[in-house]
Amino acid sequence: MERLLNELRAWGCDVEEAMERFLEDEGLYYSCLRMVTEDEGLKRLGEELEAGEVETAFDCAHTLKGVIANMGLTPMLEIIVRIVEPLRAGRIENLEPVYEELVQAKEYLKKILDGK
């Protein structure tokens, strides 16, 4: 578990704050990290962006932002904010490249969790 936490720190995650939220329960934190990588919310966000559905894309992005923030996944949070704020303002144009950055960040998180 220490390897995982160190890799998350090196990536820029706020592990200390996240662990406070998880009452220092590393096993629970790891389980929730796994859930983040397996959640369909990111896929749904991509579908809503592609369909041009501003309101539902915002709802998806805002939910993801909350989860990502609570997990202390700062690199992913910095990306999702760049999706949430334009959507909040009703703008959906040119968000696909930012969405792809978020997908890549999720894949990187999976690699960290898998020890690769």
Q: What is the pLDDT of residues 88-114, one digit of tens each?
A: 999 999 999 999 999 999 999 999 999
Return the residue matching tokens 């960040």.
105
Residue 116 has pLDDT above 70, yes or no: no
* pLDDT tens per residue across span 41-93: 999 999 999 999 999 999 999 999 999 999 999 999 999 999 999 999 999 99
Q: How far apart are CA 5 and CA 52, in angstroms?
A: 37
- The CATH code that applies to domain 2-114 is 1.20.120
Q: Where are the domains of the chain?
A: 2-114
Q: Taking CA 39 as the corner, what is the angle to CA 82 and CA 109, rounded to the nearest 5 degrees?
A: 65
